[in-house]
Amino acid sequence: MDHKISLHSKRLALIVKKCLDVPGKELFQFYDDTGEIHSIHSGMVNEYIQEISGKEFSAKDFRTWSGSISAITICNIQGSCEEQNAKQKINEILDEVAKHLGNTRNVCRKYYVYPSILELYQTNKLNKYLPELNKPINTKDKSGYTPEENVLMKIRKSNYKTVNTIKV
């Protein structure tokens, strides 16, 4: 699957170009000390993430975080969910998340968007969190989190459990 992205960092663009210059079909490869080429596989990435974080995180956790942040942002743009068009709106949200992640709607629904976000949206309970997205950024907040990340953390901390009411 080909993805088109824009890189605004000249340093990152140069790194990706060097990766593309390594012979082979894999984007992320490296030369070992003997000059042999090795592909970087997901297990290596996950081991690295766990090593630097000291926690049981994987690349999937980052994709789920990103997909869920995208879903919250799109829910905010979509506005309230009316019962008669809930399925259509949720599918539109998932389609946008799928574009962002380079995946399909169903994969995003199953793996990359916290189900509680869609359920809260469908029941209009997400509305209580969304005003935070439109507040001016608090320059005194040193956490480094975006408003969307703060909303996601509040949802996750609320221990909101889905009850499979999503009808899509």
Q: Are 107 and 98 in contact, with CB atoms under 8 Å apart?
A: yes
Bigger pLDDT: 156 vs 2? 156
pLDDT at 2 over 70: no
Residues 125-164 have pLDDT tens digits of: 999 999 988 877 766 777 778 889 999 999 998 865 655 5
Residues 19-50 have pLDDT tens digits of: 777 666 666 778 889 999 888 888 998 999 99
Domain boundaries, the chain: 10-40, 59-157
Residue 141 phi, psi dihedral angles, 5° rounding: -75, 110
Alpha helices per DSSP H over 22-168: 42-53, 59-78, 86-101, 105-107, 115-122, 147-157
pLDDT at 18 over 80: no
pLDDT at 103 over 70: yes
| Partner residues linked to 38 by β-bridges | 30
Structural fold of domain 59-157: Topoisomerase I; Chain A, domain 4 (1.10.132)
**What does the pLDDT read at residue 40?**
85
